[in-house]
Amino acid sequence: MEERLISKAVISRLPVYLRYLGELKDEGVEKISSKELSDLMHVTASQIRQDLNNFGGFGQQGYGYNVSNLYNEIGRILGLDRRYNMILIGAGNLGSALSGYQSFENRGFSFKAIFDSNHKLVGDSIRNIPIMDINVMPAFLENNKIDIAVIAIPKTAAVSVVDTLVKCGIKAIWNFSHVDLDVPEDVVVENVHLSESLMRLSYNINERVKEGAE
Amino acid sequence: MEERLISKAVISRLPVYLRYLGELKDEGVEKISSKELSDLMHVTASQIRQDLNNFGGFGQQGYGYNVSNLYNEIGRILGLDRRYNMILIGAGNLGSALSGYQSFENRGFSFKAIFDSNHKLVGDSIRNIPIMDINVMPAFLENNKIDIAVIAIPKTAAVSVVDTLVKCGIKAIWNFSHVDLDVPEDVVVENVHLSESLMRLSYNINERVKEGAE
DNA sequence: ATTTAATTGTTTATTTTTTGACAGACAAAT
DNA sequence: ATTTGTCTGTCAAAAAATAAACAATTAAAT
């Protein structure tokens, strides 16, 4: 089958396009050209056109792109035209923060349960999502169709929890622990390594200083 | 001056090298070759050598790299050989989570104050970091040398707060709000766009399914 | 001491990504 | 209806990133 793989760089730009298009839509803008969008986003028009044409011709020559239509198309490409059931592992500060994001829920990403090993937390709930003992997680997964597991626990605990998750058949992991997870090929992992982000910032702070000193 | 710009891709890999080297160091490993490290990290040895040689020759032919030494060198390159004073804007769930990360503090990143517009929170403190009124932020910045401002508030509020921060002379921003900040050239911004990360995951979930169906 | 194997730093080749260019298609104006 | 200007989709070129190759150097073995 003729279907080249889309590069990670392209995929990473799709949510950005979506964000800008969403803002335009909210402002009531009906159409936009790749040139206008490129000025807004500070990327080249060529890149926008080429990125989009990986997935189909959504524009019209002499006209441009219909904002609302393109917004929907990109959403569909990103898989935002369905719902996702999630569980959260770790009821700490980060987990609480994540479970509270209304924007995730609005996009169709819905937490169904929170698991923690701290018995003081078990039985409580955060925003109506029950906190359960980590030991009942396998049983829960058997009785509920869960699409995504969110890992918000220290790396020491993460590795073994992920092993369990994989054994239970989880196919997607959003990983906030500072470790590269070793999972089978059919399990997708998206990492959010905050400390790496912070280090990039500190690199750039000092790089900027050096430049200034030249 | 002869000093080509290091690409973002290279810089993004440095924290990963650091993480693996840190683990090796903790395990008491003294030396490692680019080949061994490449097996561990699932990247090519060539890339490791080329990345490192952007900054200098840290290895020795026929021997490899001294783990501890390389760890220190990369830390130095990333700017981890100094301390950073930070302020946090937004005492919500995410802000609380960020202020609680001991690993940031351990690396030299230290929160000095938290600012919020919610008067119910002002006067309180999180982990001994005082929560102050957002209005006193300019005065605080005049009296305290702050290196990094962490933005953990909704995008609607973020834009104007960032304007104020820039006016107060802040040169580095760690941005968790879902908006691209418009700042002068001499201000560095590192974005953590969680929703974009989640969308990449959902894209990959569905892509994986399609592959399987082929 | 000499040889052999290992391993870096760097050059060269390959691949991927990005940018530029332009023909064809459309919209709007006259 | 015809012309003019706009804008896409795609092809080609350029640039950047990655991987491979290899000479130079060192460590270890004999």
A40-58: per-residue pLDDT in tens? 999 999 999 999 999 989 9
The pLDDT-based confidence of B207 (bands split at 50, 70, 90) is confident
- For the cut 90, the answer to whether the pLDDT of residue A210 exceeds it is no
Based on the number of CB atoms within 10 Å of its own CB, is A77 exposed (0-12), middle (13-18) or buried (19 or more)?
buried
**Cα gap B79→B67, rounded to integer Å:** 18
Residue A214 has pLDDT above 60, yes or no: no
Residue B1 has pLDDT above 50, yes or no: no
What pLDDT is recorded for position B211? 63
- State the fold for domain B8-77: Arc Repressor Mutant, subunit A (1.10.10)
The yes-or-no answer to whether A8-77 and A84-196 have a common fold is no
The model's pTM:
0.94
Strand-by-strand arrangement of the B109-116 sheet = B125-126, B129-133, B109-116, B84-89, B148-151, B172-175, B188-191
Q: In the predicted model, what is the mean pLDDT of chain B?
A: 94
pLDDT reported for residue A3: 58
Chain A residues within 8 A of B205 when measuring between CB atoms: 79, 84, 147-148, 171-172, 188
The dihedral over CA atoms of B9, B12, B16, B17, expressed in degrees to the nearest 10, equals 60
> Please, what is the Cα angle at B52 between B76 and A182, to 5 degrees?
95
The phi, psi pair for B38, rounded to 5°, reads -65, -35
Mind listing the pLDDT tens digit for each residue in B62-72? 999 999 999 99
CB of A69 under 7 A from strand D?
no
- How is domain B84-196 classified at the CATH fold level? Rossmann fold (3.40.50)
pLDDT at B197: 98
Per-residue pLDDT band at B214 (split at 50, 70, 90): very low
Overall average pLDDT of the A156-183 stretch: 97
Return the percentage of chain B with pLDDT > 90, whole number. 93
| Shortest distance, CA B203 to any CA of chain A (angstroms) | 4
Domain spans, chain B? 8-77, 84-196
Task: Report in angstroms the alpha-carbon separations of A38 from A29, A43, B27, B59.
Answer: 15, 5, 49, 44
What torsion, rounded to 10 degrees, do the Cα atoms B137, B143, B149, B151 define?
A: -10
- Amino acid in position A187: V
Q: Calculate the average pLDDT of chain A.
A: 94
pLDDT at A2: 45
A44 CB and strand C closer than 7 A: yes
Answer whether residue B173 shows pLDDT above 80: yes
Report the C-alpha gap between A116 and A92 in whole angstroms.
9
User: To which residue do tokens 């201000």 refer?
Assistant: B187
Output the pLDDT for position A213. 54
Q: What is the pLDDT of residue A1?
A: 38
Q: Could you tell me which residue, B167 or B210, shows the higher pLDDT?
A: B167
* Nucleic acid strand D within 7 Å of B66 CB: no
User: Three-state DSSP class for B46?
Assistant: helix
pLDDT the model gives residue B171 = 97
Residue pair B131/B124 in contact (Cβ under 8 Å)? The answer is yes
**Per-residue model confidence (pLDDT) at position B2:** 45
Q: List the alpha helices (DSSP H) in B66-120.
A: 67-77, 93-100, 102-106
Across the range A189-207, mean pLDDT stands at 97
- Interval A104-148: pLDDT, tens: 999 999 999 999 999 999 999 999 999 999 999 999 999 999 999
- pLDDT given for residue A212 in this prediction: 55
pLDDT at B64: 94
Query: If you measure CA to C1', which residue is closest to nucleotide D26?
Result: B62
Residues of B in contact with A148 (CB under 8 A): 201, 205
